[in-house]
Structure 1
Amino acid sequence: MSTPDRFHALMRDVARLTAGHGLDAGLQAKLNLEAGPHSSLFQDIFAACRQGVADGWMCSREGGGIRYGRVIKPAPDLADCSVDVVDMDSLAGPQHAHPNGEIDMIMPLTEGARFDGHGAGWLVYGPGSAHRPTVTGGRALVLYLLPGGAIDFARS
C-alpha cells in the first residue's frame, strides 16, 4: 500500500543519490545507472505513483488535459526539493523555466510513451533551462524534483 509518508521516504532515497551533484548530464547518468527503470527504487516509486493517482492524493488537479499536483513542498530532508507529479497523455504542457534546474523521473504508462523525447528513466535539466514538457506516444507519469520548489511559468 502506498501512502504519502511511504512516498516521502522513497524521495529521501533519491535525494541521497543526488546529494553533492550538480544538475547536469553527470547526475542524469548516475540516476539512470543506479536508480534506472530496472532498479527496485525506480519500480517502488513507479508503483507508489500509480497507487497515489488511483487513491486520489497524487495528481488531484486538472488543467489543459494534464492531471498534476505538488505532492511534497520543498523539504530539508529532500535537499530543499519539492516533488510534483503529472499525468500526461500525448500532449504538450505549458512552457516554463527552471531557475534552479529540474530532475525528472519518466514513467511510461503506455509502452513506448516518451517525455521530451526520452523513455523510461531520469532526465535532468540544469539551472536556467526551459522547455515545453511534451509526452508523445501515449500516457506517462512524470515526477519533477524542483530545487527550492522553483518553477517559472512567466519566464521562458
Structure 2
Amino acid sequence: MSSKEAFHQSIADLTAEIAGRPLDQQLDQWLNATHGAGSASFERLRQACIGGVAEGWLCEREGGGIRYGRVFKAEDALHRFSVDVVDMQDIAGPHHTHPNGEIDLIMPLEDSPGATFDGRAAGWCVYGPGTAHRPTVANGRALVLYLLPEGQIKFTP
C-alpha cells in the first residue's frame, strides 16, 4: 500500500467516526479528547502529512506564499468529506466561508512547536456551517488538514 493509500485509509477511518455528527463545539471537544495532540492518531496523521509533502503528493501547488492542494475529493469512502492540506508560515490565507462547516487538524512542524492556526495550538478546530474566516498561521509554520463536507468552500472575491 502506498503512503497516499494509507493516508486515504486513515482519513476514511476518522471520517467514519464523525460522519453524521453536527460540526459544532461538542465535535471540536470530542476530536481533541479522542484524536488530539499527543495521541497516536494525531501523530499518525501528522507523520503521513509530513511524508506526503516530502513525496510531493501533498501541498503540490503554491500561491500567495501558501503551499496547498486538494488530496481527495468528497467521496463515499470518505463519508462525503474532501481532504485538503496546506503548508503555511506566519501568513493569513484568503477569506472564505464554509457552507457546510469545516474541520481542521492543526499540525505545527518540529521547528515551530508554538505555531497556531486562528489562535489555536496543535489539535482540532471545528467551524460550523455558514462560518467564515481568513485562515491564519502565526508563531511559525504548520500543516493544516481541512475536512470539508461535500467539498464545499466559497472564497470571498
Partner of 1:11: 11
Aligned to 2:82: 82
TM-superposed CA distance for 1:138, in Å, is 0.2
* Correspondence for 2:139: 137
Structure 2: state its 5+ residue gaps. Answer: none
How far off its partner does 1:79 sit? Answer: 1.5
For residue 119 of structure 1, what is the aligned residue in structure 2? 121
Distance 1:100 1:125 in 2: 9
Q: How many residue pairs were aligned?
A: 155
SS state of the match for residue 74, structure 1? Answer: coil
One-letter amino acid of the structure 2 residue matched with residue 153 of structure 1 = F
Contact kept in structure 2, 1:17 and 1:31, CA below 8 Å: no
Q: Where in structure 1 are there 5+ consecutive unaligned residues?
A: none
Residue 104 of structure 1 aligns to a residue in which SS? strand
Deviates more, 1:136-145 or 1:30-39: 30-39
Contact 2:106-2:121 at 8 Å conserved across structures: yes
Percentage of identical aligned residues: 58
Aligned CA-pair RMSD:
1.2
Structure 1 segment 86-101 matched on structure 2, within 5 A:
86-101=86-101
Structure 1 counterpart SS, 2:50: helix
**SS of residue in 2 equivalent to 1:146:** strand
Question: Could you list the runs of 4 or more consecutive aligned residues of structure 1 that deviate by over 6 angstroms after TM superposition?
Answer: none
User: Normalization by structure 1: what TM-score?
Assistant: 0.96
